[in-house]
């Protein structure tokens, strides 16, 4: 399982997601351009010293990410986009260990072309009058459920 951050634009959120990934031993694909540099203080504060343990692949653009996906061996799993426009609740979805869990920009999500590329579009259930969750919170919720379903927590130290 991998986490995919599409053009993140809030440094502390990206840092928090990178820390989450490092702690859960999940690789991260960072699709640029980003709205900050990785040396940004917000990234370092949120990621703390865990960033040194992170398996990070940086991609300059969406097309560069897609090229890297095509070349990945073994073949990449499904691209699972978390979006407020998702047709399926994450709690009703059957995750696989090779899934790539993707979030978009905090300010704008993902463009329609990227949205259409996803194999699956999921939403986190929430109150009808709420707009959206923070991307770091949404991805943590979904990654937790995905790891629970696939036995991913069992490979981590007790």
Q: Is the pTM of this model over 0.85?
A: yes
CATH superfamily of 2-155: SPOUT methyltransferase, trefoil knot domain (3.40.1280.10)
Please give the pLDDT value at position 2: 96
Confidence category of residue 11, pLDDT binned at 50, 70, 90: confident
pLDDT in tens, 115-157: 999 999 999 999 999 999 999 999 999 999 999 999 999 988 7
Residue-level pLDDT at 15 = 87
Contacts 24+ apart (CB under 8 A), 75-81: 76/100, 77/1, 77/2, 78/119, 78/120, 79/4, 79/117, 79/118, 79/119, 79/120, 80/118, 80/119, 80/120, 80/121, 80/122, 80/142, 81/110, 81/114, 81/115, 81/118, 81/120, 81/121, 81/122
| Residues 111, 14 contacting (CB under 8 angstroms) | no
């Amino acid at each position: 399982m991998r986490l995919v951050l599409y053009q993140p634009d809030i440094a502390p959120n990206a840092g928090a997601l990178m820390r989450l990934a490092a702690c859960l031993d999940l690789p991260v694909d960072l699709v640029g351009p980003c709205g900050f540099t990785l040396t940004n203080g917000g990234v370092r504060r949120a990621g703390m010293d865990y960033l040194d343990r992170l398996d990070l692949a940086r991609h300059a653009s969406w097309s560069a990410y897609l090229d890297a996906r095509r070349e990945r061996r073994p073949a990449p799993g499904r691209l699972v986009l978390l979006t407020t426009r998702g047709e399926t609740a994450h709690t009703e979805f059957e995750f696989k260990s090779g899934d790539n869990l993707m979030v978009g920009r905090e300010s704008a999500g993902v463009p329609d072309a990227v949205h259409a590329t996803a194999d699956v579009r999921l939403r986190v259930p929430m109150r009808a009058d709420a707009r959206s969750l923070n991307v770091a919170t949404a991805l943590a919720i979904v990654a937790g459920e995905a790891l629970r379903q696939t036995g991913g927590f069992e490979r981590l130290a007790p």
